[in-house]
């Protein structure tokens, strides 16, 4: 079975929903092209799971500095992080890199340490260094000077919250081999308009810097896309369910038989061979197999068998 797609943005109608919160006031979301609900907002534990995401540009992150006087040969730097100013230390891995530099330490240099761990305590010789750290989509670059007889402790306040994403179809699980691709775009800040994170795992937890984001859900194979805006707060986990108003097209074709499906406005196209299931936005489509073509109407919440002839 092989299917190829030409993507086009097609949305379902929106509704006004009120999000429920466990310990916080639920936010009311007005959705222009989607149905999304806030399922829960709760404290993010420092040891909450994390998933891969795309890093954003480096940002200014608050830092706590401690200076300990020590003997010669015992100099070093200890690195740690917090989710929020009032939160405990992060207990999941933070990506740390330490570079020995010359001059102001902003560029170049020799890497002396690179690892992912919650806390890193690195013995070092006195000199100029650049610290590069990343947790979730938040990254920081900080030059420091380690002088003789000192041990530095730096704790970065990443101001990170969590976003857990789920997608459904008519408030039901996705059909068959369908999968939802979630994309997160920044609305404000230096990364406004940029893709910040992406995941195709249901229930994936994305770690995002505090701010406003647009969450987009696209179901594949198919053409239905829905989105909503969300505000991420430091140390808070927000769970969003994005429900698609779409129909299911069951392609009834024998093994090896080629077919194609086109929207009547020619903005979306899919092709494949053999039996398949597509998740489609409501509307009219043209199904073609060999010399036979027919118009098919897809309704939200309904399964429609698609074949060359009745």
The pLDDT of residue 104:
64
- Residue 81 and residue 162 in contact, taking contact as beta carbons nearer than 8 Å: no
Q: Is the pLDDT of residue 200 over 70?
A: yes
With respect to residue 53, please indicate whether it lies within any of the assigned structural domains: no
CATH code for position 116: 2.60.40.10
Domain count across the chain? 3
Same domain, 124 and 92: yes
Q: What is the mean pLDDT of residues 269-289?
A: 94
Model confidence pTM above 0.95: no
Q: pLDDT at residue 7 above 50?
A: no
pLDDT at 310: 59
Please tell me whether residues 100 and 182 are part of one structural domain.
no
Same domain, 67 and 153: yes
Asked if residue 70 has pLDDT above 70, the reply is yes
91 pLDDT band (50/70/90 cuts)? very high
Confidence at 175, pLDDT banded by 50, 70, 90? confident
Comparing 29-33, 60-64, 144-148, 284-288, which segment has the lowest mean pLDDT?
Answer: 29-33
Whether 91 maps to a domain, the answer reads: yes
Q: What is the mean pLDDT of residues 283-307?
A: 93
Which among 199, 214, 243 is the end of a domain? 243
Report in angstroms the alpha-carbon separations of 214 from 16, 122, 193, 242: 17, 39, 9, 12
CA distance to 118, 122, 187, 257, per residue, from 96 (Å)? 9, 11, 27, 53
Tally of residues, the chain: 310
Other CB atoms within 10 A of residue 144 CB: 17
Tell which phi-psi region holds residue 70, choosing left (phi > 0), alpha (psi between -120 and 50) or beta. Answer: beta
Would the pLDDT of 140 be above 50? yes
- In terms of residue numbers, what domain contains 153? 63-157
pLDDT level of residue 52 (50, 70, 90 thresholds): very low
Domain boundary (195, 222, 243) is at 243
- Across the chain, what does the average pLDDT equal? 82
Same structural domain for residues 80 and 150? yes
Is 132 found in the same domain as 178? no
In a domain, 255, yes or no: yes
Kindly state the average pLDDT of the residues 6-32: 31
Answer whether 183's CB lies under 8 Å from 198's CB: yes
* Digit-coded pLDDT (tens) for 219-275: 999 999 999 999 999 999 999 999 999 999 999 999 999 999 999 998 999 999 999
pLDDT-wise least confident of 40-54, 105-119, 145-159, 254-268? 40-54
**Domain presence at residue 3:** no
Report how far apart the first and last C-alpha atoms of the chain are (Å, whole number): 23
Tokens coding 306: 């698609």
């Amino acid at each position: 079975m092989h299917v190829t797609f030409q993507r086009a943005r097609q949305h379902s109608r929106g509704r006004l929903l009120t999000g429920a919160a466990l310990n916080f006031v639920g936010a009311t979301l007005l959705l222009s092209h989607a149905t999304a609900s806030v399922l829960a907002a709760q404290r993010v534990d420092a040891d909450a799971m994390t998933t891969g995401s795309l890093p954003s540009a480096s940002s200014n992150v608050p830092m706590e500095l401690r200076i300990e006087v020590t003997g010669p040969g015992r100099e070093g730097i200890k690195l740690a992080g917090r989710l929020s100013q009032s939160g405990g230390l992060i207990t999941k891995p933070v990506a740390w890199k330490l570079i020995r530099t010359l001059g102001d330490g902003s560029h170049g240099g020799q890497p002396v340490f690179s690892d992912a761990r919650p806390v890193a305590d690195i013995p070092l010789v006195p000199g100029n260094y650049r610290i590069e750290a990343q947790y979730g989509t938040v990254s920081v670059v900080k030059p420091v000077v380690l002088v003789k007889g000192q041990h530095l402790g730096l704790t970065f306040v990443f101001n990170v919250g969590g976003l857990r994403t789920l997608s459904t179809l008519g408030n039901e699980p996705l059909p068959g081999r369908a999968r939802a691709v979630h994309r997160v775009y920044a609305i404000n800040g230096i990364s406004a308009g940029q893709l910040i994170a992406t995941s195709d795992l249901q229930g994936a937890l994305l770690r995002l810097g505090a701010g406003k984001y647009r969450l987009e859900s696209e179901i594949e194979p198919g053409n239905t896309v829905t989105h909503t805006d969300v505000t991420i707060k430091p140390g808070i986990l927000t769970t969003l369910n994005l429900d698609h108003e779409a129909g299911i097209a069951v392609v009834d074709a024998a093994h090896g038989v080629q077919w194609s499906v086109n929207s009547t406005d020619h903005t979306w196209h899919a092709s494949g061979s053999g039996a398949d299931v597509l998740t489609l936005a409501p509307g009219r489509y043209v199904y073609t197999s060999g010399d036979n073509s027919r118009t098919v109407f897809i309704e939200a919440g309904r399964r429609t068998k698609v074949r060359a002839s009745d």
